Structure formats: structure tokens, C-alpha cells
Structure 1
């Protein structure tokens, strides 16, 4: 039935929007239980609908009636009756003592369990430890706490609602609160046209496999032994690339854990199954560690012939040099890292602010301001210029209104799928109209979620100076590098940038405090800049009073 929602029921209106979206776009993927839930939910009276959505949005599954106080719903007991009849909510579910303590304040726990009086101010964990042996089994809340006249409601259909949430968002990370945050303007999302056929899952198997992998990841994160996790995980054949990536990542994490516990034989096997980014390089490390130099040499040669990323190439080149020495082979040619341009500063410290800010203050001048930008500036300029390409409504890239990035952002074919669009954006650098596009998008898209644009770091002053002082050719080189490997290359850029607006020039500055050294991703960015004669200095700081 159609219910007119007032402002107080904003959350309920949002939930209706979600289930209408699911019914119109995913009906063929829903099982009978999910379809029946949606149909029954629509027939409920307003208070029952509102109470259910409130419970679904809260951390549960157990709720004390005295804690459910919503003016727009009114009488909670009356609102709960239809939910109890449908079996979606239950009364007086049997609870363990740990679950019971989780529903009580400390003072209430002391009232219900006199043994806890000495632990009145202690953590709940200490209370549970005391009661664990003397309060075994499970009982109804009223039996545990007869001194409290409180009804207990348990949400039974939480797993069903989680499945609907997964189908809508395509992940278990986002919650129904995304609607509220968007309504309040806290998060703003690009309004990408989403076709009726754009979906995160194409068949029910995708959904079931995602949930299976998700539960296995929960087991792994919760400390379940690796052997049990692997047995439960099995070898799902994931046709959906997004689901397959989650499977590959879990295998990678399991292999890393095995590697840490020196179960290298099984780790090698799991890395081989994973094929997740970095898995091949980890296999190489294990082979080196075990002294399997011939096998390691062959794997390193294979990796260098077709490196998956600059990161892998850098690490494999080092490994190959070590392995070749052990085998008595001629060293392979390695990438040449040019000598860095160096600044040495002695500053008073340690100070209350970061070393980057100290260097900024020391080097900044009225005619040559220094900005602390790290990875924000170049990434933001790229995101503003290429906004149209990044948020292009390609099939499968966007399938609900709350995406802050396309789903395939880290896929190897991210650029290839949008080749013409990215080429058109980057060609604006050559024609000189890129500044207009960047400024126009900075105005029109300000505050909208983006995987590249750091709105809080991009002031009008910084943007004006950057567009005036950064050569177009340098921008293109940086942007092309970002597109080569979005995941890896959004990090590692120098900390500071200094502009000379009157001369329309700049320099970047990587800051290293006492005892700090360049990381691999920073070395790669510095090498790129040196290769193209971009002005970058590395500033090494020592404390004057050390």
C-alpha cells in the first residue's frame, strides 16, 4: 500500500526507495523469501514499517524495549506486534551471559548480578570473566534480569536485510545510512546516469559467492585457524570479476599469514591460486628464502617480461640481481635511478608540528610560497580534468546512486575501457584548454565525492598558482603515470611544492626527518621526475639541538 511519508519518516522513505530499486532492477535475482519480504513489508502499517527499519539500521540483533523510543512511531509494543506475527522479530530469545551483559549498563549489571558489586567500575570483559563459569548456558533476558521490567526484541531477518543491502550496494561496507548522509549533504555523489540494465551482480550465483567469501573473510579476521578457513572457502569459480577479485584478495591475505608462520609450502600454493596483485612477487621472496634460486630466477624473468606494475618491476629487479649473483650469472640490466637533488636543513626540534610543516615554514617566501600537498595536488588536477571519463556511465561501473568511484577503478582495463574519453581529456593539455576544464569542474563539482580530488586541500590560491606554474607537458606525464596503475601511483608524490608565480616555475620537495629514508613508491616518483627534468629536491632534516 502507498503510504505518505512525513519528514520524521525520512529513513523509511529511503528504505522504500531501496526496495523499489531492487524490485525493478534485480527481481530476477531475488529468491522467494526476499520477494515475499518486500511484498509483506509494503502491506504493513506505518509504525510497524518504521520500527523494522529502525531495527535494521541499528546495531543488533537484540534490543531492549526501553531503549526503543521514537516519537514518530509511538507505542513500540503495538508497532512490534505485526513484526512478531510475521516472525521477523522475536520475543525473549535465549541469551548467553555475554550477550546479556552487552545489553546492560554497569550499574544495571550490578543490580542483576550481585557478584559484580566489586567490579562496578570494571570493563564489561572483566564482568563477563567473573560470570562465565557461574552463569553457563542461555536464558531469556527476563530470566537473567528479573529486576528489570523490560521487553526484549530480537531481529530475526537481519541476514535477509543484509543480502538486500549487498544486492543494492554491491558490497557489505556501505550501509543504509548512505541515504541519510546524502540527504543531509554530508556526502554528495556524482549523479551518473544508471541504465536499467546496469547491475553489480548478473546472476544469483554472484550474490551467493560474494556472501560465501565475505563470511570466510570474517572467519579469517576473527582468528579462525587458516586450515578451517581454507576448507570452508573451497575453490569457488567466480565468473564475476568483482567477486573474483575479493576471492583473490582473501587468498593473498591467507598466504601472507601462512608466510608469517613459516608455512611456506602452503603459502606458495595459495599465492599461485590467488593471482592477486603482489602475489607473484611474494612467491619470488619465498623461493629466494628457501634457496630455490633456479626456480626463483625463472619466475623473476617471467615477471620482468610482463610486470603487473612499476612496484613489481622495482622489487623483482632487485631480487633478480641477488639471485643472479648466487647462480653466478651476469647481472641483468636494472632501471637507473638518477642522483637525487638534495637539501640539508638543521631545524630546532623535535617540534609539536610535523617536520613537513617546519620545512614549509623555513623555505616559504612571499614571492615563492610553499604548500604542503603530498599526494593531493596532482591527483586533484587529474581528477578535475578527467572527471567526465572517470564518471562515464559504462556498464557495471555504476549501479546505484552512492558510488564515490567506478567499480573498476583498480582493474587492469580501467583506462582501456575509457580510452577515447581519457584521450580526449588529456588532449586538452596539448590544445591549452585544460585550465578552463579544471576550473569549471572545480566550481561545478565542488564537494562531490571523487577518488582523486581532495577538496579540503585544494584552495583557490593553490589551484591558481598550480595552473600558472606547472608546465602542461609535466601534467601530462604525471597524469599518464596515474592511469598506468591507479592503486599504486596515487601515493608517493613529494610532500611540498613551491611556486614562483612571477617566473611561472615550481619545484617539488620530498621531506625526510631524522632517521627517515625514501620509500620505494617515492623513489619511483622521483625517478620519473628526474627522467623528464622535473625540478624535485629531497630535503633531509636534522634537529639542531639533538
Structure 2
């Protein structure tokens, strides 16, 4: 049932938002911001409605002609009163980025047409057009065709944006998130919030806000303004939010200045906090020939690394530039891949799943793991610390602050050590994870995604890997989550004796830095990790399941399956078949009955799809899903599984597409035409198993015609 919001929901939300600043966060307010709150609360309700409506607008400009809301009495008169009181002012005081966000590119071109501009500007980007317009305004005044009387500037915008920054902890937070919450569009975490200030003090809060504003304004600044910013000293920053925005702003400022004033750009990058700026500075200085300074800087990082990511860069750059190593560590790891597997070309849509199936056919157990296994283990192991001790400031927060700013172990080291020390056996650890999953299943978090069989691969890991190795790896994640939140190997393999991880690389794939870091740290913790290169070929032992379905109609979002027929093939031979009618729980149209011969009476006592879904999943597992016009059959079956809240993913092959490639120039590629062309007998056309058998013979012909062709 669709949720409805009350008439003045936006006003209720605004009061809820302002109430946040009646507690600890009040200490972060300056006089201007506190005055805004007090003055707003003193307004009459209709005027509060106008201000709250305006506050919900993304930019500092509003169009007063849009403010005729039925629940606000005499809204235009209310606006006039607010203008007289100073809540709104003329548009001429607007900042460039707010103006750019309000007008379209066509508006800008129309305004610029009024000025005597000789240069060609119609192909300029929007930011460049805004800069050009404001340069003309400075010389000639505002354009006559801009409806200034309609546009109003929210004079309270600086105070509002500062409040939003304090509440959300970033500059992208908007008041419409409250209505999205109430409508059920956005899930929030009310259970993990406490009344606390997001910043340590007002000075750090203001610095963070100023850097956030500067970051948004940067594309609209002039060269003189950027140089002036570059010459300013960097204040002491110890609050994580302020430090994060300073890193981002100063890095972008430095990079932009490199294009116009290289010395100034390098100076900013050298002083800027953060790994990204340090790496950029070292690379640019090396280009300029300042090799001794770069060497010293790299050695300092290697001796005292601030993060795994920067360490990986420094070690590799140092080896290549100062030890004359010709290739990168990433290239070396790919070239020295531990294993090369030949995989059937049909698996190129999901190579990792294809490798998992290959191992299963060779009597080894394998699972897709990637990041989800390690992040699930990390999130559930430390849930009490992440979401109960490191509480969220507001219900809209998703990631705990200590993870967001990479200070998890620094903040909660003793608690983390105590949790890990409790797990003396796999059973004890699994019991803890099960309790956490049972108690918190479905809660919003930014560490992992909830899903069915959440702990399956985690349990395998705990049962077959040394506990100390797992603890060491988790401890590394705690100390540098930013570098180890992703990049983990694709699959986990257990051969009956030992467990290992494998990063799968198909032809043309590259090894990214985050993957290199994760592999090295896993190896450091004592795990066996290898790179597995895949080569494509036509594997005669690759199982195929040729599928045909009959349905009540052509739209899988509405119509349902009435019959499924499947033929399993290995090495060109049929080794198994499967067939069933299904009750679609809807009327079968008469034209469908005439086509297929399947009537409502025939399916009245047939099973529902959900009653035999597991059989279909098992029959097709680790096989290539083949059909004539495969997307039709695959789409219907996948939709039926989705209705059961189950995933169905298989590599696909279409006999229509493959037959066009193998036998070009035929009159028609319909199933009936192809069976007639190749003399394939049809037992009962438009019945699932009969059509599946026919398509299986087409698959054999396709393989015969392509088996001699080399796969590149």
C-alpha cells in the first residue's frame, strides 16, 4: 500500500532537523546559525512553510512563481513579508555554482547573446559558460532577458548549508531524505544512533565546512583565486571530517594548478594531507627530474608506511625507478601466474563461475568469495563495536565513523583484540557469527550485503583455514580498512586437504592495485593465494543443458510458464532429460492452447513452479544454459526464481546466434526451418521436451562446424 505524507510534512521534517541542534551539537553553532534557528521558530506557520519549502530546494535560488502551494495561505504575500524581513534577496548576489545549478545551458546561451562577445562560445562546457556570463555581468550588468523579479536568493543559505553539513557530515545531505525515509524509499538506522555532536569542536566543524564549500566552488574559481588559495597556510586538522575534506580539496586544487602554474601546484600537493596527494607529488617531481627528493620520499614511506595502498605504490615505484626493474609488481604477478586453466568459451560471460564449475568437475570444492566472504566475516565479528560502540550520529549514517575515516583499530584496539582472543575454535567463532546474524539480519550497514546462506563460505573458511591466519587478516583489515575493504581473490578452493584463494584472470584482464594489496596481505597472513589465468577453447566435456519452455504469453513480468523440457549434454551425447508441466495459476489463452496443445485442464493438477524449482536449479547447475532465442527461455525461468526470492544465474548460449555464425545465409533460422533444413525429426512441435531435443541436435551441428576453428 502506497504511503501518504501529511500536508505539511516538509515543515515537520524541518523542525525535526532543527531539534538535532538543541543538544550537544548546539556547541558547534556560531551566532549567525543560532540566530537563523531562533528567527525561524519565531515566524508564523505560513511563513515557516515558505522557508521550509525553500530550504528543500537544492540551490540558493528559488523561482517565486513556483511557490503557490494550496496549504499555504496567500503564499506570494508571505514571500513579500519574508523579503522585507531579509529572508530572501535579489538574485544578483548569487554564487556561480548555485546559478549554474539553477539555469540550463540553453538559458546561458540566451543570456550571453545579449553581450558583445567576439569569441565562439556555443561549444563551451556549462561551467565555462557560467564563468563567461559572470565576467560579462561584471562589465555590463545583468542580462535584460533574465527574469530577475521571479528569481530570489535565499539569504539564509550559508546558515542552512552549515546546519546540513553538521547533521549529515558531508555537503551532499538534503532535507528530502526525511521524506524518502517516511515513504520507505530510504532505509535508516534508528537503533544505532545516540545524541552526540559529529565534530569535536566548532573550529574543526567550521574548517571542514569551509573546505567542503571550497571543493564545490573550485570549478568556478579564477586562476587568481586558486593561486591565492594555494598561498594560504594549512591549519591544524585533527577532526576526521575536516581532514577528509581538506585532503580532497587540496588535492584537486594542486592538480588543477599543475596545468597553469606547475610550481604552485607542486607546492600544494607537497603540503596536502593524504596518500593521493603524496603519490601525485612524487610522480610529478620524478617527471621534473628531482630524483633525489623522490627517492628520499619513497624511502620514508617504505620505512614508515601510512597505509598499505601508499606502501604498495612506493615499493613498486622505488624498484622500477631506482633498481632499474623493467616491469611492475602487478605485471610480474600476472606473468608468474601459478595456474593456467583451459575453459570452454561459453563461460566468457562469467569466468569465475566457470572456474568454480571446472573444479567441481575435477573433484575439488570451490566457491565464489571475492569481497563478500571477508566483509561478512569482518562485519559480523566486530558488529558490537562497529554498530553499538561506534554509534551513528544520525539515522541517515550508514558507515561507522571509524571505518569511514580509517581509524577503527586506532579507536577500538583493546575491544578488537578482546573479541579476537575469545575465538579459540571454529565452532566458537561460528556461534558468535550466527548470533550476530540472527539478531541483526536485514539492518542497514555499509560493510556487507545481507543475503540467503550468509555464512556458508565463511563457515568453510573457518573450518579449513588456520584460525591465527584468519585473525591476522582481520587485524590487518581493522588497521587499514581503506586499503583492505576490497580487492580480495575471486574464489576459494578446497582440495580435501588444504584451502587456497585464487584470483581469476581471463585474456585481457588486468590486476588492479587493490587486488595486489589484498593478495600480498593474505599471503603475509599465511594463506596460499595464486593467480589463475584462463585460456578459452571448446571443451568437449563442458556440460550443456538445452532448455525449452512453453508459457501463457510473451511477457515474463506478467505471463507464466506452463511447461519446461531440458536435455543435458556432455561431449555431444545426451546424458539426461527432465520435463514437467506447471500450473501457471492463470488462464491459458485459446490461441496458446492451439499452438502448444497445452490446455487449462492439463495443468489444473500440475505442480507450481516453486514446487520443482530446486530440481531445475540442480539439473542446470554448473552447465551452460542453451536455448533457441535463449533470452526468452532464460528470462522466464530467472523471473520465476525471482518470484521465489531466489537467484538464478547461468552462462547462456543461443542456438539462433550460433547457427547464424556456423551456417550463414540460410533462408530462416527459426526452429522449424532449421529442423527441416537439417532433417531433424520433431516428435511434437511446440512441446517443451520435443523442442529441447531438436535444439540439442542443432547444438551438436554447431559444435561440429566450429570445432576446427581456433578460439582467439
TM-score by length of 2: 0.60
Give the Cα separation in 2 of the matches to 1:85 and 1:409. 47
In 1, the alpha carbon distance for the partners of 2:222 and 2:458 equals 51
**1:16, distance to aligned residue in structure 2 (A):** 0.9
Q: CA deviation at 1:462?
A: 4.6
CA distance in 2, matches of 1:533, 1:27: 50
**1:474 and 1:534 in contact (8 A); partners too:** yes
Work out whether residues 302 and 311 of structure 2, in 8 Å CA contact, stay in contact via their aligned partners in 1: yes
Q: What is the aligned partner in structure 1 of residue 502 from structure 2?
A: 509
Q: Distance in 1 between matches of 2:497 and 2:528?
A: 13
Residue 70 of structure 1 deviates from its aligned partner by: 4.2
- Counterpart in 2 of 1:423? 417
Supply the distance in 2 between the matched residues of 1:124 and 1:231 (Cα, whole angstroms): 25
Report the 3-state secondary structure (helix = DSSP H, G, I; strand = E; otherwise coil) of the residue aligned with 1:538: strand
Structure 1 counterpart SS, 2:23: helix
Equivalent residue runs for 1:375-524 within 5 Å: 375-393=371-389, 398-409=392-403, 411=405, 413-431=407-425, 432-455=427-450, 459-470=451-462, 471=465, 472-497=467-492, 507-524=500-517
Distance 1:429 1:180, change over 3 A: farther
How many residue pairs match? The answer is 502
Q: Does 1:341 align with 2:338?
A: yes
Could you say what secondary structure the match of 1:491 adopts? coil
| 2:82 corresponding residue in structure 1 | 83
- Closer, same or farther in 2 for the Cα pair 1:399/1:467, shift >3 Å? same
- Does the 8 A contact of 2:343 with 2:355 survive in 1? no
Q: Is the 8 A contact 1:192 1:398 kept in 2?
A: yes
Which whole-Å deviations, capped at 9, do the CAs of 1:446-495 have from their partners, x for residues lacking one? Answer: 3333232223xxx3325234314433444323212211211111121112
Q: 1:282 to 1:99 in 2, by over 3 A?
A: closer
**Residues 89, 420 of structure 1: CA spacing in aligned structure 2 closer, same or farther, 3 A cutoff?**
same
Distance in 1 between the 2:101 and 2:448 partners? 45
Is 2:210 aligned against 1:212? yes
Question: Mean alpha-carbon deviation: is it higher for 17-26 or for 533-542?
Answer: 533-542
Alpha carbons 2:246, 2:273 under 8 Å: kept? no
Separation in structure 2 between the aligned mates of residue 151 and residue 244 of structure 1, nearest angstrom: 40
Hey, what's the Cα distance between the residues in 1 that align with 2:361 and 2:48? 62
Q: Shift in Å at residue 211 of structure 1?
A: 3.2
Give RMSD over aligned pairs: 4.4
Answer whether contact 1:509 1:536 (CA < 8 A) is retained.
yes
1:231 matched to 2:228: yes
Q: TM-score, normalised by structure 1?
A: 0.76
Residue 17 of structure 1, CA deviation: 1.9
Does structure 2 retain, via aligned residues, the 8 Å contact 1:92–1:151? no
Alignment-derived partner of residue 117 in structure 1: none
Instruction: Using CA pairs under 8 Å that are at least 6 residues apart, name the structure with larger relative contact order, 1 or 2.
Output: 1
- 1:100 and 1:540 map into 2 onto residues whose CA distance is 49
2:534 pairs with 1:541: yes
- Whether the 8 Å CA contact 1:507–1:536 is kept in 2: the answer is yes
Aligned to 1:275: 273
CA positional deviation for 1:237:
1.6
Decide whether the 8 Å contact of 1:300 with 1:320 is kept in 2: yes
CA contact (8 A) 2:506 2:535 kept: yes
Q: Deviations over 1:117-155 (max 9, x none)?
A: xxxxx9998xx99xx899974368xx7569xxx955543
Aligned-pair distance for 1:20? Answer: 1.9
Contact 1:297-1:320 within 8 A present in 2 as well = yes
Counterpart for residue 119 of structure 1 = none
Distance 1:350 1:72 in 2: 60
Aligned to 1:295: 293
Within 1, Cα distance between the matches of 2:497 and 2:509?
32
Work out whether residues 288 and 323 of structure 1, in 8 Å CA contact, stay in contact via their aligned partners in 2.
no
Deviation at 1:241, TM superposition (A): 2.6
Q: What are the superposed Cα offsets for residues 218-255 of structure 1, whole Å, 9 maximum, x if unpaired?
A: 23344643x63241361142344332342233223333
Quick one: structure 1 residues 342 and 256, their matched pair in 2 at CA, closer, same or farther if it must change by over 3 Å? farther
**Conserved in 2, the CA contact under 8 Å of 1:465 and 1:499?**
no
Please name the residue that 1:118 is paired with. Answer: none
Q: Does the CA-based 8 Å contact 2:282-2:297 persist in structure 1?
A: yes
Q: C-alpha separation between the residues in 2 aligned to 1:92 and 1:523? A: 52
Structure 2 runs not aligned, ≥5 long: 114-122, 325-331, 538-710
Match of 1:138 in 2: 142
Return the alpha-carbon distance in structure 2 between the equivalents of residues 268 and 123 of structure 1. 28
Inter-partner Cα distance in structure 1 for 2:143 and 2:244: 42
Q: What is the aligned partner in structure 2 of residue 35 from structure 1?
A: 34
Q: Using a 3 Å threshold, how does the CA distance of structure 1 residues 365 and 214 change in structure 2: closer, same or farther?
A: same
Q: Is the 8 A contact 1:89 1:154 kept in 2?
A: yes
CA apart distance, 1:22: 1.0
1:51 aligns with: 50
Structure exhibiting the larger radius of gyration computed from Cα positions:
2
> 1:485–1:264: structure 2 CA closer, same or farther, 3 Å change rule?
farther
After superposition, the Cα gap between the structure-2 partners of 1:88 and 1:357, relative to the gap in structure 1 and judged at 3 Å, is farther
* CA distance in 1 between partners of 2:61 and 2:253 (Å): 33
Aligned equivalent of 1:116:
none
Verify the 8 A CA contact 2:58 2:174 in the aligned structure 1. Answer: no
Would the alpha carbon gap of residues 124 and 66 (structure 1) be closer, same or farther in structure 2, given more than 3 Å must change? farther
Change (3 A) 1:71 1:534: farther
1: CA distance, partners of 2:523 / 2:77? 72
SS of the aligned residue for 1:460 comes to coil
SS at match of 2:453: helix
In structure 1, C-alpha distance between the alignment counterparts of 2:272 and 2:81, rounded to whole Å: 47
Instruction: Give the CA deviation at 1:27.
Output: 3.5
**Distance in 2 separating the partners of 1:92 and 1:228:** 23
